[in-house]
C-alpha cells in the first residue's frame, strides 16, 4: 500500500536570508514573515501589549493580529500578510510600543 502523501514532492523553492532580532534565518521564497518565523525554530513569541502574555501567529490570514512584528523599522506589521524579502530585518515586538515608533 502506498502512503497517501508519497506523491507530494519536497519543497524545492529557493531560500533567502532574513534577520530576526539580528540573527540570520533561512526562509523560503513565497513564505510570509509569520510562516518563516514559525519554521525558524527560534522563540518568536511576542508579548501582548495589554497583558504581557506570550503570543504566536494564530490565524495566518490577517484577522487575529497575533503576528505583529517590526519589519525594517516599521512596527505593528502583520507578519502573516507580508512576504519575506532578502535581507529583511524582523524584530519580535516585546510589550507596548510608543506612538510614532
**DSSP readout, 58-82?**
-SSSSSS-TTEEEETTEEEEEGGGS
Whether the per-residue pLDDT at 74 is higher than 90: the answer is yes
**52, part of any domain:** yes
Residue range 22-49, pLDDT digits in tens: 999 999 999 999 999 999 999 999 888 7
**43, part of any domain:** yes
Query: Residue 4, SS3?
Result: coil
Whether the per-residue pLDDT at 1 is higher than 70: the answer is no
Q: For residue 32, give the DSSP letter.
A: B
* Cell numbers found for residue 40: 525558524
pLDDT band with cut points at 50, 70 and 90 for residue 97:
low
Q: For residue 8, give the DSSP letter.
A: S
Domain count, the chain: 1
Determine the Cα angle at 91 with ends 86 and 97, to 5°: 140
**11, part of any domain:** no
CA dist 16 and 90 (Å) reads 14
**35, part of any domain:** yes
What pTM does this model have?
0.84
The domain of 61 spans: 28-92
pLDDT more than 70, % of the chain: 88
Whether the per-residue pLDDT at 83 is higher than 90: the answer is yes
**14, part of any domain:** no
**46, part of any domain:** yes
Amino acid at each position: 500500500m502506498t502512503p497517501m502523501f508519497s506523491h507530494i514532492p519536497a519543497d524545492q523553492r529557493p531560500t533567502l536570508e532574513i534577520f530576526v532580532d539580528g540573527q540570520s534565518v533561512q526562509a523560503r521564497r513565497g513564505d510570509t514573515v509569520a510562516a518563516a518565523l514559525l519554521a525558524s525554530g527560534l522563540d518568536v513569541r511576542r508579548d501582548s501589549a495589554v497583558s504581557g502574555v506570550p503570543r504566536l501567529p494564530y490565524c495566518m490570514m490577517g484577522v487575529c493580529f497575533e503576528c505583529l512584528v517590526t519589519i525594517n523599522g516599521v512596527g505593528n506589521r502583520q507578519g502573516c500578510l507580508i512576504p519575506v524579502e532578502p535581507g529583511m530585518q524582523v524584530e519580535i515586538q516585546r510589550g507596548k510600543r510608543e506612538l510614532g515608533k
